Amino acid sequence: MVGREHLIERGKVHYKWDNSLPAVVEIEAGDVVHFETEEVSDGQIKPGSPASALTSLDFSRLYPLAGPVFVKGAQPGDVLEVEMLELRPLEWGWTGLIPGLGLLAEDFPEPYIRHFDLSDGESTALGDTVRIPLQPFCGTMGVATDEPGQIDVLPPTKGAGNIDTRHLNVGAKLYLPLFLPGGMFSTGDCHGTQGDGEVCVTGIECPMAFSLRFNIVKNRTVKPWRYQFQTPPGSLQPRSDIKGYFATTALGPDLMENARNAVRDLIDWLGMEHGLSRQDAYVLCSLAADLKISQIVDQPNWGVSAYLSLAVFKT
């Protein structure tokens, strides 16, 4: 049976998780909802905005989320299945270094911004020598919880939310725990692409039109503070794999410090080998490098690697 289709108009958003908010749409299991959301700053950053705009953001307007969506029949203890049907970035996006935020906040205290043309829907340029494939996804997808009051979107909650998982692309299915009747799902914070780690605190933040299908799973458990997802065949071998990777690895007893040092070494390599400024190298690491735990058994010194796809370089 084919479900009905619903539309949430652009601009019908909220900025906090709050289980007292009314649903903006009620749907049946199997229905599709069409969304269109602004980028993460809710229009405070515009095409051509200077870096200084990042220092005067109204944080109460960050993370405009479309929803809540009420799925009839969904109950606490059930699992909500969210299937990605279409994810279409709208023309433009940005990546910024925001003072005080990001993995290397101490290394990059000044604001910096890069604007990206997303109009061809396939890739975007960072300068003259780098071309980054697009891999769009919704950075924030989650449900309201049984905790009262307003709750910030950043960081994630026990109902997921700001999960920034780059493999939730078209064809993927996300599985969320439910705490309230109807689930009360909301989404936004869309990215044109991002590396695993989103190390500078932003991916390519962009307006996006997207469509999601909702179902209820009654015979499955997802615990609070956890979520699960399934990707379509071949999705973990993207176009970025075709030329291999350059990776930097840091060892030591602190996984966070290892992650920082791996990214620092990759930034240094990008400057020496490809002539990128430190700021652009950091941006590229956030958009096209993946942080991976290389080993976590050789105590007390664990290993973290930063993998950069060599396919991003034009030559």
Residue 72, domain CATH:
2.60.120.580
Identify whether residues 300 and 156 lie together within a single domain.
no
Average pLDDT over residues 172-178: 97
Same domain, 209 and 130: yes
Distance between CA atoms of 299 and 252, rounded to whole angstroms?
9
Domain count within the chain: 2
| CA nearest to 313, candidates 293, 291, 288 | 288
pTM > 0.85: yes or no: yes
Same domain, 262 and 176: no
**Confidence band, pLDDT 50/70/90 cuts, at residue 243:** confident
User: Of 190, 212, 230, which residue is a domain's last?
Assistant: 230
Q: What is the arithmetic mean of pLDDT over 299-308? A: 96
Same domain for 61 and 209, yes or no, is: yes
Last residue of a domain, one of 230, 250, 269: 230
Mean pLDDT for the stretch of residues 302-309: 96
* Listed residue (82, 184, 79) closest to 137, CA to CA: 82
Query: Which CATH number does the domain housing residue 285 bear?
Result: 3.10.28.20
Q: Which two tokens stand for residue 299?
A: 């105590």
Same domain, 264 and 125: no
308, 193: one domain:
no
Residues 274 and 224 in one domain: no
Q: Which domain holds residue 107?
A: 5-230
263 and 305 share one domain: yes
**Do residues 187 and 250 both lie within one domain?**
no
Evaluate if residue 46 carries a pLDDT over 60. Answer: yes
Whether 84 and 141 map to the same domain: the answer is: yes
Looking at the fold, whether 117 and 163 belong to one and the same domain comes out as: yes
Given 230, 255, 270, which residue is the final one in a domain? Answer: 230
Reference 185, options 3, 35, 9, 11; nearest CA is 35
Q: Are residues 100 and 178 in the same domain?
A: yes
Lowest mean pLDDT among 3-7, 40-44, 142-146, 235-239: 235-239
